Amino acid sequence: MQTGYYAATGGMVAQFNRMDTIANNLANANTTGYKKDQLITGDFVRLFKEAQSELPIANQTEAAAQYFNRSLSRVPQITDAFTDYSLGSMQKTDNTFDIALNKEGQFFAVKTPQGIRLTRDGTFTMNDAGNLVTKQGYEVLPSDYMQSKTGITLNQQDSIITIDKNGLISTNIPGSTQMIANKKLMIIEPQNVRMLTKEGDNLYVPDPADILSPIAESGSVMQGYTEKSNVNAVNEMISLIEANRLVGMYQKVMDTQMNDMNKDAIEKLASKN
């Protein structure tokens, strides 16, 4: 068995997966509130490190297990994938319905045809019916949605609309500067953000077991700001170049295994006969 060839093949596949992830991150470098994805590469030795004395082999001794591990091909492979939820930089826009969250792990709740979803993209707008919606037209939910089942409705004639640090929306009485309280944004902080699933349109599917309870005082809402993606384009380009070079190196190893070594073996066998 040409283990070197299979190891190089596995390494190449792992780098292809890295390149796909990096390319997706770069494509969303300018997407508001986007969180970059990361991959973890491992090999058989790492995977078996914690259980190397409990392998299903006849001789259940540590020495035998270690020998078995050494005989395995150290094929690089993707062992885990995760989303980096670190904060992106805040960009001031002064737009009334541009809203950012300056704390990690907090999300806006929106209503989609598939159910309630979470997002960090706070570039909202008001539709013709006066409802606060996302760029895709999904309804932005208030903190009392579970009880009222209604969204956030604003008056087209409201000339002053303010949103405080906890998400409370206030509007002025027509013809005056006196403010009255409207609804409050539903800000959700999932118990385990790693259980969120990306769905597209910058939305996340929450864990079904997670109770979506709004935060009473999030203290993170910034009106007139948007959160930029946390993708560092320079670092991603460096990683992309690195992955591309590794693909070339693995290709060279495969060529060496299949061509040079096989040719050498055939010539030696032929000379013996």
Q: Which residue has the tokens 């002064």?
A: 94
Host domain of residue 252: 3-85+232-272
Residues 191-226: tens digit of each pLDDT: 889 899 999 899 999 998 888 889 989 999 999 999
Give pLDDT, residue 99: 96
Residues 240-272: tens digit of each pLDDT: 999 999 888 888 888 777 776 667 667 766 666
Instruction: Indicate whether 39 and 103 sit together in one domain.
Output: no
Give pLDDT, residue 40: 80
Instruction: Indicate whether 95 and 179 sit together in one domain.
Output: yes
Instruction: Indicate whether 15 and 142 sit together in one domain.
Output: no
Instruction: Indicate whether 223 and 236 sit together in one domain.
Output: no
Residues 37-93: tens digit of each pLDDT: 998 876 655 555 555 555 555 555 555 555 555 545 567 777 778 899 999 999 999
Instruction: Indicate whether 15 and 35 sit together in one domain.
Output: yes
Instruction: Indicate whether 50 and 107 sit together in one domain.
Output: no
* % of the chain surpassing 90 pLDDT: 55
Instruction: Indicate whether 139 and 213 sit together in one domain.
Output: yes
Give pLDDT, residue 63: 59
Is the pLDDT assigned to residue 117 strictly greater than 80? yes
Closest CA to 205 of 115, 82, 113, 133: 115
Give pLDDT, residue 107: 97
Instruction: Indicate whether 95 and 223 sit together in one domain.
Output: yes
Instruction: Indicate whether 173 and 259 sit together in one domain.
Output: no
Instruction: Indicate whether 246 and 220 sit together in one domain.
Output: no
Instruction: Indicate whether 194 and 260 sit together in one domain.
Output: no
Give pLDDT, residue 206: 93
Higher pLDDT, 7 or 91: 91
Higher pLDDT, 175 or 13: 13
Give pLDDT, residue 78: 77
Give pLDDT, residue 134: 95
Is the pLDDT assigned to residue 125 strictly greater than 80? yes
Q: Please give the helix or strand (H or E) that residue 107 lies within, else none.
A: strand 107-112
Number of domains in the chain: 2
DSSP the chain: --HHHHHHHHHHHHHHHHHHHHHHHHHTTTSTT---EEEEEE-HHHHTSTTTTS-S-SS-SHHHHHHHHHHS----EEEEEEE--PPPPEEE---TTBEEE-STT-EEEEEETTEEEEES--B-EE-TTSBEE-TT-PEEPBTTHHHH----B--TT---EEE-TT-EEEEEPTTS--EEEEEEB-EE--S-GGG-EEEETTEEEPPTTS--PBPS----EEETEEEPP---HHHHHHHHHHHHHHHHHHHHHHHIIIIIIHHHHHHHHHHH-
Instruction: Indicate whether 95 and 66 sit together in one domain.
Output: no
Per-residue confidence band for 122, with pLDDT thresholds at 50, 70 and 90: very high
Residue range 116-136: mean pLDDT, rounded: 94
Give pLDDT, residue 160: 87
The mean predicted confidence, pLDDT, of the chain is 85
What distance separates the 2 farthest-apart alpha carbons in the chain?
104
